[in-house]
Structure 1
Amino acid sequence: MNPNVIKTPFPRLIAGISIGSFGYNLALITPLAFLLTVKLAMLDPANVTKNFSIIGLTTGIIGILSQYMAGVISDRTTWKLGRRRPWMLIGSIGGAAALYGVGAAKSFTMVLLFWALAKLLLSFMSTAITALIPDQVPENKRGTASGIYGLVSPLAIMIGINLMFILNSWAIEKKFLLLGMICVVSAIITSLLIKEGKVEYQQERGKNDSLTFGEKMSRIYPSPRKYPYFTYGVLTRFFMGIAYTAASFTSVYYLERFHVSQQDLAGIVSTSMNITIPILAVASIIGGGLSDKFGRQKPFVFLAAAVTAIGILGYGFAPSIGFSYVCGSVISLGFGMFLAVDIALMSRVLPHPEDAAKDMESSTLPMILEDRLPTRQQVKLLRQEAIHYSLEYWLSLEY
């Protein structure tokens, strides 16, 4: 934790992080799980899968780059309001406006452009919220914080899908606007709960002109030879993220595999979420507490990877919608175990507290970790977490 950061009492801090994360996930993931599919089906029913894939690839790349950029900017912000709170507000307001643009768009091109803009702006909100954990959460409570943080995302998705089902008769642009407004309100509440003041950015790496080419490159991504455990962690997140994607875009899955109608889609996706999300939430909360208690992550990683793989295989061969619910539950159980230790693990291996936002987001892409070499005890700890990490990635991510 950066010693210059004003600390928020833990219960208040967790409440603020949870509320902000809830609004972000409600605004960004609910459309991915349902609304975007419906919007694309309205514009071009014959090319839903192709258009959804284009959006996923394009905005996925934008999301990775924007999260990294948002982290760098947030770390170097020295405003009186703090370095995290301003970007929560800016990101949520701009993202809400872009979401409304998605709902009101009249062509696939406009949907793609507005969704990319929403992804870009909401990355600033997400990055700022995530960075509060290494900023202000004590290390012995990060497992608990990670478990609660992991719970909020699926809870927001479940509530968002059910809300869309209840408001099924609303015009789609109104649904996007509602999600954006909830996101803005959550960012405001979080900003009021979190204590933060002006923080001076501390750069301790020397002058750029004195660095070798390799040292300059290590500011973009740490040397795999010098920091192999971090690379294992990045690979773990990457592969686990790909794995969980199988359970993320259920609306497209049901639309294409079981040929359900648009009218029935909301109810089926809502039922799936109501079954799988509580399982993920319980696994995340219990796993986070156990991680803090035993101080280990590797067993959770191994088990999470195996369980998730079983669920994905079941999804691929599911003969019915009912069986797919079971497979989704298995995936959620495995992914919940991973979420329980994900943030706690990455928080531990951050080398530079002053770069917390950048480094946390860089773990989904190349990160900037050029700290001193770890001690023997740290290597042992990092080995546990890296092996753990390298077995899975939480889809992504983002989320």
Structure 2
Amino acid sequence: MTRSDIAVDELVVRPATPLPRLIAAMFSSNVGALIALLTPLQLLLTLQTTRIAGTDAAAAFGLITGVGALFALVANPLAGRISDRTAARFGRRRTWILTGATGGSLAVFAIAFTTEIWQVAVIWCLTQSLFNFQQAATNALLADQVPSDRRGTVSGFIGLAGAVGPLVGIAAVSALTDPFLQWGIIATVSLVLGIVAVFVLRDPQHVPAADQAGLNLKQLLLSFWLNPRKHPAFGWAWLVRFLLTCAYASGTYNAFFLMDRFGVAPEDVGGSVLLLSLISVGLLAVTSVIAGPISDRVRRQKPFVIAAGVLAAAALTLQAFAPTIEVVYLAVGILGLGTGLFFSIDSAMCVRMLPSAENAGKDFAIINMANTLPQSFVPFIAPLLLGIGGFTALYVTLAVIGIIGALFVLRLPELGREGDPRWALITREPTTTATSV
């Protein structure tokens, strides 16, 4: 097989679940995990740190979310590598979806009992780790079981889950004031949705190839790395996702932004954040469920990603200089349109760049590190930018980062043009004979 032949060879999929059931399972699992991860990031951790740290809440929030993101960064690729090698009869992906949902739900509920910032940080790190195991196993199903001509459609539903999760979570807790009820509700809903996904999904037992090496320290360390020089298209796809996700991470600061610029009281900010989420999700839902199937039909992905980056930059610039809260609502709506466009296409685009079908879970988890790192990177740079120029400096910087990410997608080959030397090469290892029974 020549290098160009390998580059255009499609990942081999072995569908075990009918597509409607597979979409339902992946959507349910992702929504459950994201309720538990994004509802705290957008609201509950802000309230919890304010109760504990008072005026130092913003700094405490940055510390907690930054350290938690580092744990997620480690957990996601490890989970992908481990699930690739799992031979449990329950299934290599279902095993970790159930483990992550169960353990993560217990951990997130425990945050309600914290009385010190260090306690919140420790438990949040555990929560991030467990739910990232669930997400890594769930998203690997896109490579495992989804045919290449339907990945845009499924990718759209994955993107929709990213908005529905926090919306459901915020809607469930925004009218409540008791932290035990707030954390308990999101823990319960996350657990139920994870269990539903496990029962809907078919995940036959994986039988590793005879020559597949067992997991050792070297194999685990390799879970965090794919050489971008050896796999250039994979490297560019990773960078595009990282930069655009940094732009979308601006939503993490909505609660602080509303309280700081417009004087929204802490007891009222939940309702305002919920309204922002409703606007964002409503528009995101439109673009994510429409753009994915259109991309499959027209066999194009890059124009959608470029448009997503332009919309994100415009929205963040508008929010940076918003004179009224109504302008913020408009900016968040535009950002929702861009977010829906990007996440409806990005997963399908990234799957095309994966170097190996046998290690799809591990490789896709490395791609997912580009989702996780912004949760640490943005809180890391935010205090500096806020000190220099407040929220205006923060949002303008993220707008510039988003535009750069959109431009970098031009380095990737379009559908049907894989192997063309004008664009980064998609490398592909020959598929082994591993089977599932």
Classify the TM-score, shorter chain: 0.7 to 0.9
Q: CA offsets per residue over residues 263-297 of structure 1, 9 Å max, x none?
A: 11111111111111111111111110111011111
Q: CA offsets per residue over residues 164-184 of structure 1, 9 Å max, x none?
A: 123x13x21221122111111
| Structure 1: unaligned runs, 5 residues or longer | 367-373, 387-399
Contact 2:419/2:425 (<8 A) preserved? no
Other-structure match for 1:105? 114
Other-structure match for 2:343? 339
Q: Please report the TM-score for the alignment, with normalisation by the length of structure 1.
A: 0.87
Contact 2:223/2:362 (<8 A) preserved? no
Which 4+ stretches in 1 moved above 3 angstroms?
202-208, 215-220, 380-386
**1:385 Cα shift?**
11
Residue 153 of structure 2 is aligned to residue 149 of structure 1 = no
Contact 2:237/2:353 (<8 A) preserved? no
Query: Equivalent residues in 2 for 1:1-399 (5 A)?
Result: 7-166=16-175, 168-169=176-177, 171-202=178-209, 220-365=224-369, 377-380=417-420, 383=423
Distance 1:178 1:220, change over 3 A: closer
Other-structure match for 1:393? none
**1:185 Cα shift?**
1.1
Q: More displaced, 74-83 or 181-190?
A: 181-190
Q: What's the secondary structure of 1:351's corresponding residue?
A: coil
CA distance in 1, matches of 2:100, 2:421: 35
Cα RMSD, aligned residues only: 2.7
**1:60 Cα shift?**
1.2
Letter in 2 for 1:345: M
Contact 1:62/1:119 (<8 A) preserved? yes
CA distance in 1, matches of 2:247, 2:75: 22
Contact 1:27/1:180 (<8 A) preserved? yes
Other-structure match for 1:390? none
Letter in 1 for 2:267: Q
Distance 1:349 1:202, change over 3 A: farther
**1:158 Cα shift?**
1.4
Contact 1:202/1:354 (<8 A) preserved? no
% identity of equivalent residues: 30
Contact 2:139/2:364 (<8 A) preserved? yes
**1:219 Cα shift?**
6.9
Q: CA offsets per residue over residues 182-201 of structure 1, 9 Å max, x none?
A: 11111111111111121023
Letter in 2 for 1:68: P
| Structure 2: unaligned runs, 5 residues or longer | 1-10, 371-412, 427-437
Distance 1:319 1:385, change over 3 A: farther
Contact 1:297/1:385 (<8 A) preserved? no
CA distance in 2, matches of 1:55, 1:289: 38
**1:117 Cα shift?**
0.5
CA distance in 1, matches of 2:223, 2:124: 30
Contact 2:81/2:223 (<8 A) preserved? no
